[in-house]
């Protein structure tokens, strides 16, 4: 399994970015995909996740209502649409996958995942 995360960049507060995570060696509709982030000096945080079997999603309280996780099954790609970005959203964002269909209570825990992408930097600054 290989994961390719992209879409990061520099954006002003209030702006938007869309991150992409393309998985190879991973069947469409299989498992669970999560987005995590890590800011300098902070622990990695589970931002959002999507269970592929039924589309179940979960979001951290800090991003609820601003971020949306979605999937393009034809491209085997999962997106994280990030709106109303704040400086505190600045971090390296990672996508991760597991072949297991996680319960929602576990899908934002990094130990639940088996494969990780390389990360993409998101910087929110004026």
Taking the C-alpha atoms of residue 36 and residue 13, their distance in angstroms, rounded to an integer, is 20
Burial of residue 122 (CB within 10 Å: 0-12, 13-18, 19+) is buried
Coil, strand or helix: which one is 111?
helix
DSSP state of 113: -
Predicted confidence (pLDDT) per residue in 68-124, tens digit:
999 988 888 999 999 999 999 999 999 999 999 999 989 999 999 999 999 999 999
pLDDT of residue 73: 82
Contact call for residues 79 and 95 (beta carbons, < 8 A):
no
Predicted confidence (pLDDT) per residue in 8-61, tens digit:
999 999 999 999 999 888 776 789 999 999 999 999 999 999 999 999 999 999
């Amino acid at each position: 399994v290989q994961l390719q995360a992209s879409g990061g960049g520099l954006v002003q507060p209030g702006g938007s970015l869309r991150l992409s995570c393309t998985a190879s060696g991973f069947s469409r509709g299989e498992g669970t995909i999560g987005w995590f982030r890590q800011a300098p000096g902070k622990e990695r945080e589970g931002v959002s996740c999507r269970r592929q079997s039924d589309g179940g999603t979960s979001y951290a309280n800090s991003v609820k209502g601003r971020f949306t996780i979605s999937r393009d099954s034809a491209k085997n790609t999962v997106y994280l649409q990030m709106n109303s970005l704040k400086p505190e959203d600045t971090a390296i964002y990672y996508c991760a996958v597991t072949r297991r269909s996680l319960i929602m209570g576990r899908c934002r825990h990094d130990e639940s995942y088996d494969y990780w992408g390389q990360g993409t930097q998101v910087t929110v600054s004026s």
